[in-house]
Structure 1
Amino acid sequence: MLHQTKGIVLNRVQYGETSLIVHVYTEKFGRQSYMVKGSRSKKSKSKSNLFRPFFLLDMEVYHRDGKNIQSLKEVRLAETFNSLIFDVHKSSIALFLTEILSKVLREEEANHELFVFLYNSIRYLDLTDESVEFFHLYFLTKLTRFLGFYPQVNWSAEKPMFDMDNGRFVNELNSHGHCLGKEESEILNILFNTSIDQLNLLKINAQQMRVVLRGLLNFYALQSQGFTSLKSLSVIEELFNGG
């Protein structure tokens, strides 16, 4: 049956001489894979440059429940980006976050609230004129709410250390090898309580950002099965953390 849905490109892999398999998080069907035949040929209607990380699409698709690879009839951009593909910081963030989303988004069913969060976050990333150096940290803290492991945000002077195993802040006596230090735990608490329009008020230096990001990724790895190492991590650290 033919359906119309919006979609967010996660990644793509080459298939054969001229085709692609594109992984998309869709509004109607959750994460899906689509065969795009001849997308790398000169005569293709569905040009491969439509399938870049975080591109927002309007799609006409043939959908059958339980099918591993679905068919795509028509596709076009739902939004025309202003800066996402031209700004090296924004495009690197897109690559980094889609690599993470590719690992953690597995559900082949609709989640409207998650889709809206992703869609609006991508539009913000493209449209903002503010610095985006903390955007990926903000995004990762907020995403946990939709993945089912949003932590207990109970930071206090008595519980100053974030326990990544159990998703809560603990006192020093209960700290262990999977706890962030006090300084980074306080920053993480601030991030969990920050709205997107307050990001540029944050004071986080390069070393703190590196440790907080590594801590967040460790938290993801402990809470999400199959969360493996990230190829794009070094790029983000080089851009935002001073190498």
Structure 2
Amino acid sequence: MLEKTAGIVLGYTPYGESSIICKIFTEKFGNKSYLIKGVKQKSKAAQKKLALYQPLYILDLVVYNRPNKGLNYISDAQILYAYAELPFEIRKTTISLFLTEVLRKCLQEEERQPDLYHFLVQSFTTLDQLPTQYENFHLQFLLKLITFLGFGIEKVQDLLEMAPNHFPLDEEGLLYMELLWRSPYQEAIPPISLRQRRILLDSILRFYKSQIEEMHFLRSLPVLKSVFE
């Protein structure tokens, strides 16, 4: 049955000689895998089609939806939001690749989650548009994402009570974490040192790893750290 939905690309893997299997978090059906044939050929048409399925691209889709089937198919795909900077500005690209890897490991279930979908769209379109001061964006995103992952955590205090040993932060560090969590991405936040940012990132990831087994190895993490040093 053909269905229309929007979706955010979470990356793809090669399949056979000319096809890919693409993970897309859709507004209507949650996390889905789609087999897309013929996009790894050398023709311009195939390359243009493959270019649609880059990490975090937001697409308008017409799909064959078959419930409880591992692989589905896409009838038509168009860009829904054209990024101006995310694929081209090195620091924003590095953040997007890191967060794509995190999302691939966090979002495993096929479950419709419209609030999470709209949070993701709002987050990445905002990152694309931010002119400056987005070096803490990944910290804010990881903290805000926690509330959507079914841990029963709605505020920093809940997080500290659930995993007190994962956050070896002084009072100033805890207040800064609260500020990051509650502030809009666009709001100017006082800067912190590279050392403080790294401690906070490692603390947040320690919590993720305690809850999600797949999070124990993140290939993009060293790249993220090197770009922001």
- Scaled by the length of structure 1, the TM-score of the pair is 0.86
8 Å CA contact retained: 1:9, 1:23: yes
Output the CA distance in 2 between the equivalents of 1:154 and 1:31.
30
Match of 1:211 among 186, 199, 209: 199
- What residue is the counterpart of 1:221 in the other structure? 209
What pairs up with 1:112-131 in 2 under 5 angstroms?
112-131=114-133
Q: Helix, strand or coil for the counterpart of 1:147?
A: coil
Residue 78 of structure 2, aligned match among 76, 79, 98? 76
- Paired with 1:205 and 1:74, the residues of 2 have a C-alpha distance of 46
String of CA shifts for 1:141-192, please: whole Å, max 9, x gaps. 000010123354339xxxxxx74x7146xxxxxxx5x342214333222222
Q: How does 1:190-205 map to 2 (within 5 A)?
A: 190-198=179-187, 200-205=188-193
* 1:80 CA displacement: 1.2
- Structure 1 Cα separation of the partners of residues 118 and 173 of structure 2: 29
Cα displacement string for residues 40-59 of structure 1 (whole angstroms, at most 9, x for unaligned residues): 11143862111111100011
How big is the alpha-carbon RMSD for the aligned residues of Structure 1 and Structure 2?
1.9
Letter of the 2:85 partner, please give it: S
For residue 72 of structure 1, report the CA deviation from its aligned partner: 0.9
Instruction: Look up the match of 1:10.
Output: 10
Q: Show the counterpart of 1:141.
A: 143
Q: Give the number of the structure with larger relative contact order, counting CA–CA contacts within 8 Å between residues 6 or more apart.
A: 2
Task: Please name the residue that 2:176 is paired with.
Answer: 187
Query: Aligned partner of 1:188: which letter?
Result: M
Q: Percent identity among equivalent residues?
A: 36
Answer 1 or 2: which has greater helix percent: 2
Higher Cα Rg, which structure: 1
Letter in 2 for 1:123: T
Letter in 1 for 2:178: N
Contact 2:167–2:204 (8 Å) recurs in 1? no
State the secondary structure of the residue aligned to 1:35: strand
CA distance in 1, matches of 2:206, 2:154: 14
Code of the residue aligned with 2:39 in structure 1: it is: S
Runs of 4+ in 1 over 6 A off after TM superposition: none
Unaligned 5+ runs, structure 1? 156-161, 169-175
TM-score by length of 2: 0.91
